[in-house]
């Protein structure tokens, strides 16, 4: 440390100017992104944190509310329903997407004819317009004339589900649409992880007499744990933030069947103009996601294998 300080103090002015120029060039590359992050993310987050303790309708003066906004959450039935719906969506979307992505990755990792075409096909929904995906799914599951219910009726199913128009089936329909849209992206991650597993491990397992299931259980799954951990973290956060898909498909309905927390925040802020209360809901969501992410990283050391 002392040698480094001595070198810095004894460096010639020309060398220091050259070093400063390098730093300036490096910071100039990240400055636009940093400014954008500060304006569109950091400052609104800070303002929202302050606003959670205020009353403000956007037109009148801001007034102090203290913890009233948070205590009101306990009496808000829509908040409880939205929280429950959010947890149901996360509990359905995360495992289904991971299992489907892993299954597709393992299937399309095999030497099948046309596998590149199928990889592209399954990835396409991820880059497709979310509004288009939602509209197509609503058409597919249209209760009276959709192709899904037409097929079920042709197979002899009496009173097929009303899907997104039904209180009982709306959340399931949204989860299926979300899985279909996101599975291609996570399939690519699993595919890359599968192709990085050394074949010598499978050869050693075969020499030991392992069958296909044992190779999957004791070789593939442990070697995929870094990818599984990454996907579980990213997918959990994305599932808690679900908004656009639900707004386009159901608008939070029918009734409040798909009214998740982000939809409740949007309605409270931009339809009821209770910005302080909506910020308190946003803070609850933020700290809930933060706590789950911290737990996931804490548990990482117990099951993720980086060797």
The pLDDT, as a whole number, for residue 11 is 62
pTM: 0.86
- Decide the pairing of beta strands 63-64 and 54-55: antiparallel
Average pLDDT, the chain: 89
Distance CA 133, CA 151 (A): 21
The per-residue pLDDT for range 73-103, each reduced to its tens digit, is: 888 999 999 999 999 999 999 999 999 999 9
The pLDDT, as a whole number, for residue 10 is 56
The pLDDT, as a whole number, for residue 23 is 86
H-helix or E-strand spanning residue 54: strand 54-55
Distance CA 191, CA 203 (A): 20
241-252: b (≥16 Cβ within 10 Å) or e: ebeebbbbbbeb
Residue 65 CB-half CA count within 13 A: 24
The fraction of the chain above a pLDDT of 90, given in percent, is 53
Mean pLDDT value across residues 272-282: 92
Q: Which of 113-117, 190-194, 289-293 has the lowest mean pLDDT?
A: 113-117
Inform me whether the pLDDT recorded for 3 exceeds 50. Answer: no
The per-residue pLDDT for range 191-248, each reduced to its tens digit, is: 999 999 999 999 999 998 889 999 999 999 999 999 999 999 999 999 999 998 999 8
Sorting pLDDT into bands at 50, 70 and 90, what band is 161? confident
Distance CA 78, CA 64 (A): 24
92-114: b (≥16 Cβ within 10 Å) or e: bbbebbbebbbebbbebbeeeee
């Amino acid at each position: 440390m002392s040698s480094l300080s001595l070198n810095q103090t004894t460096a010639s002015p020309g060398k220091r100017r050259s070093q400063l120029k390098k730093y300036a060039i490096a910071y100039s590359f990240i400055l636009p992104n940093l400014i954008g992050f500060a304006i569109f993310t950091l400052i609104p987050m800070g303002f929202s944190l302050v606003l959670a303790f205020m009353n403000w309708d956007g037109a009148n003066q801001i007034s102090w509310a203290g913890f009233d906004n948070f205590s009101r959450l306990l009496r808000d039935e829509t908040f409880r329903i939205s929280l429950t719906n959010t947890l149901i969506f996360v509990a359905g979307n995360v495992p289904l997407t991971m299992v489907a992505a892993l299954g597709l990755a393992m299937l399309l990792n095999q030497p099948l004819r046309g596998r590149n075409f199928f990889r592209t096909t399954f990835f396409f929904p991820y880059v497709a317009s979310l509004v288009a995906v939602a509209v197509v799914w609503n058409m597919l599951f249209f209760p009276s004339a959709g192709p899904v219910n037409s097929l079920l009726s042709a197979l002899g199913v009496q009173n097929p589900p009303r899907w997104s128009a039904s209180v009982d089936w709306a959340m399931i329909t949204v989860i299926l649409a979300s899985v279909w849209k996101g599975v291609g992206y996570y399939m690519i991650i699993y595919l890359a992880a599968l192709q990085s597993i050394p074949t010598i491990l499978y050869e050693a397992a075969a020499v030991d007499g392992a069958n296909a299931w044992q190779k999957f259980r004791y070789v593939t799954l442990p070697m995929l744990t870094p990818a599984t951990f990454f996907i579980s973290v990213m997918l959990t956060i994305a599932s808690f933030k679900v908004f656009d898909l639900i707004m386009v498909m159901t608008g939070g309905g029918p009734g409040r069947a798909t009214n998740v927390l982000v939809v409740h925040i949007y309605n409270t802020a931009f339809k009821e103009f209770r910005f302080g209360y909506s910020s308190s809901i946003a803070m609850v969501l933020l700290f809930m996601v933060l706590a789950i992410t911290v737990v996931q990283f804490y548990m990482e050391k117990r099951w993720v294998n980086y060797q």
